[in-house]
Amino acid sequence: MIQLASPWLLLAIILPLIYRYLLPPKLVLEQAALKVPFLEDFDQFEHSVISQQKKWPVILASIAWVLLVFACARPQWLGEPIEQAVSGRDLMLAVDVSGSMKEKDFVLNGQQIDRLSATKHVASEFIQRRIGDRLGLILFGTTAYLQTPLTFDRQTVATLLKESFIGITDDEPATSIGDAIGVAVKHLKNEQTNSRVLVLLTDGANTAGTSPIRAAQLAADHQLKIYTIGIGADEMLVRSLFGNRTYNPSRDLDEKMLNAIADKTQGRYFRARNKEQLDAIYQLLDELEPVEKDKQFYRPMTELYHWPLALALLLAAGVAVSRLRFK
């Protein structure tokens, strides 16, 4: 259907009539001239032909004025209503991109991959399932920064997560978990929402920036629930000149701290030792924070004012040409 954004502007159509009938007429002074009797009939004929020719510019100008006023009223085409599910939840993802995330202790399709690649693979699928949530992305290493502000555009969030890389924040081998929580609080505290959630994934301990416990208390004060995920295998086999040996690639993971963060904000701590466990955690997060089915509708709108405006300008050009012709 077609609607007008400013229908009251249609009242401007009568302005030429007001100008014509309410304002005093312009006096036309005629000079005295010699009148030739036998040319009187010819003069009347010529005058009638010219008056007929001058009617068309008036008609075109009138049509152009109506079209111009109609364009000013901004006609719009409204499409069919489109349903959108809106949960009323703001969900932030905070992903560790420090140097330790390049540890290749995960397996995907039979190949060894690093921790960040595994996170991208699983978290991207999680993002696509969050229909109705506003999503944001935080990346942190030595520093933490907002990579993607809150948006319903899940594809953009997933794309920017896939484009992240180890060391994108800096080159120093440090992890600022507290700063990542602080960034989430800063961007969520003033939002009017039913639920604020932060999913924080890391493979280490806080070695830079703000204290994570203090940041978690600040998050709790602003009703921000934090789910923490500790990522990394417990044991890996390494070949050396002296034979095979095993070691723990997650020896720096501070599980006690991650548990404390989750408890303080009424969240939960998860441990992901492989890709399957990481996938199961995100599946469980879908159950803990289900996508709600509250429905809203919006109608796509297309502006149409440029069509009557273009036609009005075309007719105005025609009137201008005709006036030059009959001068």
Tokens of residue 190, six digits? 């003033």
Single-letter code of the amino acid located at 161: L
Cα torsion 215, 142, 164, 109: sign: negative
* Residue 143: C-alpha distances to residues 50, 63, 70, 146, 206 (Å): 82, 64, 55, 10, 11
Give mean pLDDT, residues 159-164. Answer: 90
For 220, residues 6+ apart whose C-beta sits below 8 A from its C-beta are: 264, 265, 266
276 closest CA partner among 214, 231, 307: 231
Is the model's pTM score more than 0.85?
no
Kindly list the distances between the CA atom of residue 197 and the CA atoms of 155, 164, 185, in Å, as whole numbers in the listed order: 19, 22, 10
Confidence of residue 260 (pLDDT cuts 50, 70, 90): very high
Of residues 237 and 7, more confidence is placed in: 7
d(CA 21, CA 309): 27
Question: What is the distance between the alpha carbons of residues 130 and 189, in angstroms, rounded to a whole number?
Answer: 21
The confidence score (pLDDT) of residue 34 equals 47
pLDDT surpasses 50 at 111: yes
Mean pLDDT lowest among 21-30, 77-86, 250-259, 264-273: 21-30
Percentage with pLDDT > 90 across the chain: 17
Tokens of 26: 């312009």
231-259 pLDDT, tens digit each:
887 766 666 666 566 656 667 788 899 99
* Largest Cα span, the chain: 132
User: Quick one: 84-296 is in which CATH superfamily?
Assistant: von Willebrand factor, type A domain (3.40.50.410)
Q: Are the CB atoms for 178 and 212 separated by under 8 Å? A: yes
**Mean local confidence (pLDDT), 126-134:** 84
Average pLDDT score over residue span 101-111: 80
pLDDT for 298 equals 62
65: nearest Cα among 316, 317, 318:
316
Beta bridge partners of 153: none
pLDDT exceeds cutoff 60 at 7? yes
CA distance 274 to 107: 7
User: Could you tell me the residue ranges of all domains in the chain?
Assistant: 2-20+38-79+299-326, 84-296
Query: Does residue 179 or residue 133 have the better pLDDT?
Result: 179
